Amino acid sequence: MVMDSETDKETPAAGADPRLALLLASIFQAGDDATVELTVVVDGAVISGSAVSEHAWTQRQNDQVRIGSWAIAGVLDAYGSPAGEAGTEAQPRYLHFLAPVLLSGGTRVPLQATRVDVRRVAAWSIGRIPGD
């Protein structure tokens, strides 16, 4: 988050909403058990679910790969996040959801571990869409 010294107002850094970035940074700093229910709009689609740290999301994604294919189970385990991707800097780059629901055109689609670039979030609110 960047403050404009002339107006004392928040200005988004790198296209991300500064309040959302602050909320996500607190999740990353709190550890793997931290979660917050969020609803976001990305490219016209609504995604609603539990936002978690990248580490918790990565564990879930790796588990999904193991279930689907033991032959490639170790591939993602060996992957390390490039600098800045893991959310260790002031502005997290990605929002990580576990078991969200995608709403598009009135259709509800349950998803697994889902990752969204925070710079593409057009709107957001705390809480889930009722019924998911």
Using one digit for the tens of pLDDT, what is the confidence trace for 52-73? 988 888 888 888 877 877 677 6
Give φ, ψ of 49 to 5 degrees. Answer: 175, -165
Span 73-113, pLDDT tens digits: 666 666 654 444 444 445 688 999 998 999 988 889 999 88
Report the chain's terminal Cα–Cα distance, integer Å: 32
Domain residue spans of the chain:
2-126
pTM of the complete model:
0.74
Q: Determine the Cα–Cα distance for residues 7 and 23; give it in Å rounded to an integer.
A: 23
CATH code of the domain occupying 2-126: 2.30.30.100
Q: SS3 for 78?
A: coil
Span 2-57, pLDDT tens digits: 445 454 454 444 578 999 989 998 887 887 788 999 999 999 899 999 999 888 88
Residue 58, CA distances (Å) to 40, 44, 50 in order: 20, 26, 14
C-alpha torsion angle, residues 81, 50, 64, 44 (rounded to 10):
-80
